Amino acid sequence: MKDLETTKRILGIENKRDKRRKLLLSKEVYLKRVIHRFRMSNAKLVITPMSQQFKLSVSYSPKLEKKRIYMNNIPYESVVGTFVSAIVCTRLDIAYVVSLVTRFMSNHGRSYWKDFKWILIYIEGYLGRVLVYGGTKNETH
């Protein structure tokens, strides 16, 4: 058995320690790939994870079968998985809004897809955010 020193990444979570031995957790590399995959890297940045224009209601779900089939071709579930993965251990700032928009996974419409894009743009603007364990309440990263 040998000591492999500290891990730098485990399960997609980057682990860093600063000089005061605080633990910093981030999923920046993973989220950059996701933003690039959905072609959201050149969008105008936003400062809140949720917009006033979010239309979160069953009335915005498609009612016609043709529209439902069209929306099934949009990778909605893939984005949901991305957000849930980001929330676990690192991006608690989007947990509430993701819980709201995932309520309509079984019958999602175009307005929900726009909401997901908004969240992706928000994440891009704050890629450098990390979750910090240790330290005092007044310190920010």
Q: How many other CB atoms are there within 10 angstroms of residue 141's CB atom? A: 12
Residue 53 lies in a domain: yes
Mean pLDDT over residues 73-102, rounded?
80
Q: Which of 127, 64, 66 is nearest to 94 (CA)?
A: 127
Spatial distance between the Cα atoms of 82 and 35, rounded to a whole number of angstroms = 10
Domain count for the chain, please give it: 1
pLDDT exceeds 70 at position 107: no
- For 80: left if phi > 0, alpha if psi spans -120 to 50, otherwise beta; the answer is alpha
Output the CA angle 115-120-126, nearest 5 degrees: 130
CA 135 to mean position of chain CA atoms: 25
Distances (CA, A) of 35 to 5, 44, 83: 32, 13, 11
Residue 105 lies in a domain: yes
**Domain span holding position 18:** 9-133
Residue 139 lies in a domain: no
Residue 141 lies in a domain: no
Residue 129 lies in a domain: yes
Residue 3 lies in a domain: no
At which residue do the structure tokens 């209601």 appear?
57
Q: What is the pLDDT of residues 17-64, one digit of tens each?
A: 887 778 888 888 888 888 888 888 888 888 887 776 666 666 656 566
pLDDT top residue among 67 and 114: 114
pLDDT exceeds 70 at position 109: no
Residue 78 lies in a domain: yes
Amino acid identity of residue 13, one-letter, is I
